[in-house]
Each structure stands twice: as C-alpha cells, then as structure tokens.
Structure 1
C-alpha cells in the first residue's frame, strides 16, 4: 500500500502523509506525532519549538530575494478523529492507518483516514523540506487537539509568531476559499439513576442500530442523515407502552463532532412478549428506513438474545431519558439568510452512554452557529428539555466564529492566482464547522486569513476519503500563492 501512495504526485507531500498514517494520533494521544514533527524540523536545521499545550512551530527563512515579502503562517492540526466500523479490529492509540488507493481516491480500511487534517499538515512539511520553492518567511504551526476542543489554538500565546498572513489548510472542497466559520459549544447532560432488580420471567436482548453513514457534524449536518441515538430511543418509546420493555444500558454514538452511526443497548422484557417487542420495533424501524431511504439506505436493526444484566436503570429515569432524547433538538436548526446554502445553526446529539459503576447516563451535544445569539438560544432550548426531565446540564468548550472579511488582501491575491491557473474564479464561502481561524484570529487580530484544501469526503467517519487529483491542485495552488505573497 505504502509504495503506491508515496508514488502519487506531489511525491513529497504524499511521502509525509503516508508517514503520518503510520503514527497513532487520535485526539489526546498526540505525543508520538508531536515528537515526529518536532524531530522533523530539527533534522532540517530549522528553528523548532513545542509550546506548553503541544503546538509544534517550525520557522523557515525566506528564499534569497524574497525577504521583503509578508510572513506566512501555514497552519493545520496534527490530531485525527478515531472512528471505525464495529466489525473492525483497530486500536487508534497503537495501530497504523491502513490507507490505500481506491480509484480516484485515497481511503482507509474500515477506519477514518486522517486526511483531515493530515494532508494539510503534510503540505506544510513538504514546503519546509523543499529546496526548490520560492517563498517569503514561513512559520508552520501544527496545532494540538483540534478535533476535541481546539486546545492548541486556544493555548497559543501572542507574540510567538511574527507572520502577517494565515493559510489554514483544513477545508475540504478544492476550488473554494473559506473566509468565515461557525462557532461552537458543548452541551453536557447527565442523568443519575437508581438500580432496580431484574424481575423473574424476563429475558435480555441486545438492540443494535448500525449501518448509518455518520460524518462530520458540521460539514455533513446539511445532508440530513439519520442519528442512531434518535432512532434507538424512538424504538424504545414505541415499544415501551405495550411491552413494558426495560433499559439496562445504552452506548450510542462516540465523539461530539461525529454524527452517530451506531447505537447499542441491553433491553429486558417478559419472555412472553419478546415476539411482540420485535414486531413493534421492526415495524417502526421500517417506517424510519423509508423516511431515510435516500440518505441511509444501509441502516440496520438487530435484536439478539444476550445474558441477563445484573440490574436495570430505574423506570422513571428510563422514561425521562427517552422523552428528553426524543425532544432534544438535532440537525439543522436554521439556514443562513446572508449566504445561500450555508447552515447557520445546528446541533448534533452525539452520544448517549450509561455508566453502571457511577449510576449515570451522559449525553453530549455539540451546538454550532455563525450567530452567537442563535447558539445561545439553542442552548436554552436544550437546557429546558433536560432540566424538565431532571437531568444536570452544563455547557463548556465555547469557541468563537470567524467573521468574513470580503476585502481581505490575501483573498484577492488567491482569487487572481486561481483564475490564472485554472480559468475560473474560486468560490468564496463560509463553513458550518469550527475552524481554528476564529480562535487564532482573536489572539493575532492582525492576521489576514484564508482556509483552503483538497476535496475530502465523509470526514469523521470510516468512509473518509481524499481525492488524488485535488491534492495535486491544492499543492500547486499553495506553491504559486507562496511565490506571489505581497511585499511588506
């Protein structure tokens, strides 16, 4: 696999991307990749430092004759989202990514690929290592723990970087230049429950909802995909009144920024009502599958016998949890009035997980909006739903959006370069996702910022793939941009 990938063009970029796939780098487990990039900079003889939050900064002087150009910060994050199919054996803290070529794309075997943001990081490494490019002063900023909280961007200190222009490489559609992004905030919700004994005459079943597409909770939320957590509790709500089915445990979804693809739980029901339970759930699932026929053609339901659990979640908490999940806002809340086709406000009901030892059920939602007041109002709606149901509600991890600057000088420069190379003007957009630009721009308000990248599909899911041709175009565009950075 590696030999095929490293033979792609541009070879230097793909070489470093392949090397990144071999280094485990899920969020919060980034020590090895940070060490790798730090040593990479030192071995090139470049000024290299690691700050207190794990950001790696490598500085490369201007090439001869380019010293009077504005300084450029090439920025991307080193961590990746660890998502895999349930039948895939893979430890993201130890195992390399099995990347391979599939037609016009590079993808991975049953896991996320890490092209988000590995391609952007690899491009910066290729610029640093190249000896035949023309550019002004370069500062490469490899940020830490972007996917689970933008910790690196939040922790970057002012005065560390001296550049004037930030080129963020974390966008996912070639031919588009991004000049704005949504802000975000986490809603953390928790029920505390009492255990109840399992009555006599009961049997246990595992309910599994699988086969949904999932995806990036910002980029893909507009695609109206199914939410495995919503489906799980929809089935439970339909079956409970007639069968008295009880919930022992639930494990739905995973990361706050990934649309939940799977949900699992242990149910307990009277043995005499097993067939009735299955019939009710099958019928409701068939309705849901018909509703989502275009977006989720492969979603599946299974109810299989399993061992009886030791205890049950108390019935009142089960009812309140079910009703709160069904009532919780999810998906696109409002489209933008100012930019057609852009989601303004959304929420991802990301995970629902019970913890038997602590007798708690934790729910995580990620809210996004380009309008701060709309995000705050959405938070109040979620707060109201879960407080009425008796849950504890906390909000955390708020980060700002990035307000578009249509008069940006680097925007004008890059539009002209792209039109000259490819015969068309690139689209200028804002993105319904959390780019680090919003946070970084707060620390360095003088920066002129653009985000761009190759075409990546289905990030944050095991279907993630990057288009080979667009990686070459992204690289060529980056190289010519660096050659044409304005003078100071």
Structure 2
C-alpha cells in the first residue's frame, strides 16, 4: 500500500513515492536514470543518454523542454541509521506537508522528476532533460553538448518557492592568489589575535545582508598594530562569508596596549556592522618561532585590505538584486600565502571585469593568480515571451501576478542556456522548505496548485507558440 496514494495529484505522488525508494545521492544516479528511461519508453518517448549520464526524453516536435536534476543531497540526523547507497527514503504525511524520517526528503529535485514523469502520461509533444550531479558540482549541466536538447522554451523545475518565477542567476569564478614568503627565525613571546562571533552566511544569497568579513576586520586590526606576522588564517569555504580569523604577531606594543586597541576596534566594527551583535576580539599571549619582516607583513596587509569584498553593483533590471559581488573567502600562510576570492555576477562581462581587478591588485603586490573555470550567469530578461506566458497562466488560475525574482547564486539554467543558446528560460516549482537538511519538507497543497499551473502553462504555450 502506498503511503502517499490518497493525496492529490495522485499521478504525481505515485511517482514521487517510487522515486523515494531509489537511492540517488550525487554521483550515484544510475538507478534513477534507468527508472526514468523505463517510464519514458513505456509512454513512447525517444530516449537518449550522453557520456556523463544526462537523460533526454522527447516526443514529436517539442517546443518545451522541462529540466530537473536526478541527484539529491544526502543528509541525516546523527541518531538515524540510514545507508544512502542502499536504503530508500521513508516519506510520511504531516498535515499539509510530506517529510522524511530523519533524512533529507529529496523533494529537491524529486518532485520535479515526479511531475515530469506524470506529464509523460499525457502523451504531449514535450522534451524532458534530467541532469546528473547538480548538487555537488553542476557536472551534468557543464558536460551538456549543443544539440542534445532541441526545445525552444526551457522550464527548470528546481525552484522551491510556489508563486515565484525565477528569471536570472549569477555566474561565478574563483581566484587563488599565492605569494612566496620568507620567514625570519625569531623565538619568543608573541600575541595571538582572534576575530570571531560573526554571522557569516552564503557568499551569494547573503552578501547583501550587511555582514562583516572576519579576514577584513583582522587585517584592519593588524594594520593598526604594525607588527610582524608569524601566522594568519581565516575563512573556511569559497562560498561562505568568513566568520572567524586569527593571526600571531610580534609587536613592540605591550599586551595591555593591544587589548586596548582591540576594544577600540571592536567598538568601531559594531558601529559599522549593526547586525553583528556578537563580535569578539580575543587577545592572548603565544609562543612564536618565526615571523616575517615588517615590510613583508605590511605587503600582506596591504593586499588583504585592497582586495574587494561585498557588493560591487546592483541590477538595473531587477529591484533589490545584487548583480556583481566578491567574497574574500579564505587566507592561509605556511610556506606561501594563499588567498581565495569567489566572484559572482549575472553579467558575464562584469564577472570578467571584477576578476580582472583582483588579478591586477594581486600583481601589484607581486603575487601570482590562478583562476578556476567559470560558470556563466543568466541575465534577467523582463521582455521574455516565456515569462509573459508563464505570468499570464498563473494570473488566469490564481487571480494574482506571480513574483519575478533572480538569485545571486549559480543555477543549472545559466549553464544550459549558455551551451544550448536557449534564451527563453524560467525556473518554477512548488513550496519546499529546508532543502539539504533532514528538516526538508514539501507542501502538499502547493504541489496540487503547481501541477494545475504546469498543465495550464503547457496548454498556453502550445496555443500561442
């Protein structure tokens, strides 16, 4: 007996329950791909698979391509015994929500897959693209080859906000700055300075929230103290605003003078960043065995203070959207200094421009720069024909305009659009909360409304073209 058989739309939930039985962590999509291909062939779809495992199913002269990813984030509570390589997800109904027992539910993007499979039963001329490895690297989207999909309109089903049409996203790229350092052997008592207690957050979605960068704050303190650096470290991940940073220095100032300066700087930072209610600056003695000279120390601080962090520009098209930003993400110093900066923009040329600025600043400091592969942005197009049809379809069903939003983070749509040349793109979905965590749930009533919306939108596109 199916757990979800009595909720509407039944044709969607029956597939979602089957999908939940199939383990499908990132890079483990073989079984879900086989299931999708079996369903598609049963309904007369032409099925293809590319070299990395992306699946396309097509019937007739399809104008519309629905796209979703096959993998899910696999997280569980510590007290839960669950083998994601072998065990299926156990969904259950909790009022208006479907949840999982102690694990991620995988509604991201399992509901998108279920809706796609339910649409196959309608015998419509539609194309479906199912990508691999979205959650851990966008590998499937990056590996897509031009011509693999043929639709004119790309509708991504990976959004998590019902009533919102996403119309843009940021592209991005990382810059790794490295500089050789030469230490002086100097044993003795030094001072360890720690900046902590900051909020941090996602370097794209939360870059506009007025949060402080611990590396920047630490560099400002060190600049005031004018000491010799023995160690400096801060930040953790390229896509997270740094919350903590520390340095070990030798300075001619007394520990009391340093503590006084630290308290003075804390008051300054609290005034500059009113959101940061828990800033801590800890000063304590430490033993040191090597340091840089003053000139090298000052060069490092000049570099850290000159590098950009935060909002570079706001969108002229979408109110409140960050267009371009950078995140001074990590700093480490062993035998060489290494700094990682993550840059984002919804305009590819603007991304190139900010990464060029970073490169020039680093070169002025005598450092080397390596730039990782970039992923393209998706610039909002408020004149899009698909957006107009999608907005009208929503209004006709629910009597109100959907919200139009863009996100300052990377999505598959930006990459797919760049590779295929498709420029009529939207991203939509039902209401999903707390994805990527065991608290994840999908709202049942929103799935029913979303299903009706998708059917109406298909009808409208086929009528208008």
What TM-score bracket applies, with the shorter chain setting the length? 0.7 to 0.9
Please report how far the alpha carbon of residue 290 of structure 1 lies from its aligned counterpart in structure 2 after TM superposition: 3.4
Please report how far the alpha carbon of residue 384 of structure 1 lies from its aligned counterpart in structure 2 after TM superposition: 2.7
Task: Call closer, same or farther: CA 1:324–1:126 in 2, change over 3 Å.
Answer: same
- Residue in structure 2 matched with residue 252 of structure 1 by the alignment: 235
TM-score (norm 2): 0.75
Take 2:438 and 2:261, find their aligned partners in 1: how far apart are those partners? 32
Structure 2 regions of 5+ residues with no counterpart? Answer: 76-83
Take 1:18 and 1:184, find their aligned partners in 2: how far apart are those partners? 32
Question: 1:364-375 to 2 correspondence within 5 Å?
Answer: 364-375=340-351
- Residue in structure 2 matched with residue 280 of structure 1 by the alignment: 261
Does structure 2 conserve the Cα–Cα contact (< 8 Å) formed by 1:58 and 1:141?
Answer: yes
Take 1:101 and 1:317, find their aligned partners in 2: how far apart are those partners? 61
Does structure 2 conserve the Cα–Cα contact (< 8 Å) formed by 1:208 and 1:303?
Answer: no
Of 298, 316, 321, which aligns to 1:319?
298
Does structure 2 conserve the Cα–Cα contact (< 8 Å) formed by 1:106 and 1:467?
Answer: yes
Take 1:347 and 1:445, find their aligned partners in 2: how far apart are those partners? 27
- Residue in structure 1 matched with residue 188 of structure 2 by the alignment: 200
Does structure 2 conserve the Cα–Cα contact (< 8 Å) formed by 1:334 and 1:343?
Answer: yes
Task: Call closer, same or farther: CA 1:145–1:323 in 2, change over 3 Å.
Answer: farther
Does structure 2 conserve the Cα–Cα contact (< 8 Å) formed by 1:79 and 1:144?
Answer: no
Please report how far the alpha carbon of residue 79 of structure 1 lies from its aligned counterpart in structure 2 after TM superposition: 6.7
Please report how far the alpha carbon of residue 105 of structure 1 lies from its aligned counterpart in structure 2 after TM superposition: 9.4
Please report how far the alpha carbon of residue 254 of structure 1 lies from its aligned counterpart in structure 2 after TM superposition: 0.6
- Residue in structure 1 matched with residue 55 of structure 2 by the alignment: 57
Deviations 1:316-359 (A, max 9, x none): 443222221222111111222343322232222222233x3xx2
- Residue in structure 2 matched with residue 90 of structure 1 by the alignment: none
- Residue in structure 2 matched with residue 70 of structure 1 by the alignment: 63
Of 235, 238, 242, which aligns to 2:221?
235
- Residue in structure 1 matched with residue 80 of structure 2 by the alignment: none
- Residue in structure 2 matched with residue 189 of structure 1 by the alignment: 177
Take 1:37 and 1:370, find their aligned partners in 2: how far apart are those partners? 32
Please report how far the alpha carbon of residue 190 of structure 1 lies from its aligned counterpart in structure 2 after TM superposition: 1.5
Structure 1 regions of 5+ residues with no counterpart? Answer: 62-66, 83-92
1:362 aligns with 2:348: no
- Residue in structure 1 matched with residue 210 of structure 2 by the alignment: 224
How many residue pairs get aligned? The number is 448
Please report how far the alpha carbon of residue 393 of structure 1 lies from its aligned counterpart in structure 2 after TM superposition: 2.0
TM-score (norm 1): 0.72
Question: In structure 2, the residue corresponding to 1:486 is in which secondary structure?
Answer: helix
Task: Call closer, same or farther: CA 1:328–1:8 in 2, change over 3 Å.
Answer: farther
Does structure 2 conserve the Cα–Cα contact (< 8 Å) formed by 1:455 and 1:471?
Answer: yes
Take 1:274 and 1:430, find their aligned partners in 2: how far apart are those partners? 49
Task: Call closer, same or farther: CA 1:234–1:370 in 2, change over 3 Å.
Answer: same
Deviations 1:70-127 (A, max 9, x none): 3423234747699xxxxxxxxxx99x99x9999999999xxxx989xx5442122212
- Residue in structure 1 matched with residue 309 of structure 2 by the alignment: 330
Task: Call closer, same or farther: CA 1:206–1:144 in 2, change over 3 Å.
Answer: farther
Question: In structure 2, the residue corresponding to 1:125 is in which secondary structure?
Answer: helix
- Residue in structure 1 matched with residue 79 of structure 2 by the alignment: none
Task: Call closer, same or farther: CA 1:131–1:432 in 2, change over 3 Å.
Answer: closer
Question: In structure 2, the residue corresponding to 1:199 is in which secondary structure?
Answer: strand
- Residue in structure 2 matched with residue 342 of structure 1 by the alignment: 321
Take 2:396 and 2:346, find their aligned partners in 1: how far apart are those partners? 32
Task: Call closer, same or farther: CA 1:435–1:36 in 2, change over 3 Å.
Answer: same
Does structure 2 conserve the Cα–Cα contact (< 8 Å) formed by 1:345 and 1:374?
Answer: yes
Question: In structure 2, the residue corresponding to 1:288 is in which secondary structure?
Answer: helix
Does structure 1 conserve the Cα–Cα contact (< 8 Å) formed by 2:310 and 2:326?
Answer: yes
Question: In structure 1, the residue corresponding to 2:277 is in which secondary structure?
Answer: coil
Task: Call closer, same or farther: CA 1:167–1:347 in 2, change over 3 Å.
Answer: same
Please report how far the alpha carbon of residue 386 of structure 1 lies from its aligned counterpart in structure 2 after TM superposition: 1.8
- Residue in structure 1 matched with residue 277 of structure 2 by the alignment: 297
Please report how far the alpha carbon of residue 11 of structure 1 lies from its aligned counterpart in structure 2 after TM superposition: 5.2
- Residue in structure 1 matched with residue 371 of structure 2 by the alignment: 395
Question: In structure 1, the residue corresponding to 2:208 is in which secondary structure?
Answer: helix
Question: In structure 1, the residue corresponding to 2:155 is in which secondary structure?
Answer: strand
Question: In structure 1, the residue corresponding to 2:462 is in which secondary structure?
Answer: coil
Task: Call closer, same or farther: CA 1:236–1:36 in 2, change over 3 Å.
Answer: farther
Take 1:340 and 1:155, find their aligned partners in 2: how far apart are those partners? 33
RMSD: 4.8
Does structure 1 conserve the Cα–Cα contact (< 8 Å) formed by 2:266 and 2:279?
Answer: no
1:209 aligns with 2:196: yes
Question: 1:171-190 to 2 correspondence within 5 Å?
Answer: 171=159, 173-190=161-178
- Residue in structure 2 matched with residue 41 of structure 1 by the alignment: 36
Does structure 2 conserve the Cα–Cα contact (< 8 Å) formed by 1:80 and 1:114?
Answer: yes
Please report how far the alpha carbon of residue 265 of structure 1 lies from its aligned counterpart in structure 2 after TM superposition: 3.3
Take 2:285 and 2:138, find their aligned partners in 1: how far apart are those partners? 42
Deviations 1:271-320 (A, max 9, x none): 994444344324323431332223x33454445677x5664456544322
Task: Call closer, same or farther: CA 1:131–1:414 in 2, change over 3 Å.
Answer: closer
Does structure 1 conserve the Cα–Cα contact (< 8 Å) formed by 2:200 and 2:243?
Answer: no
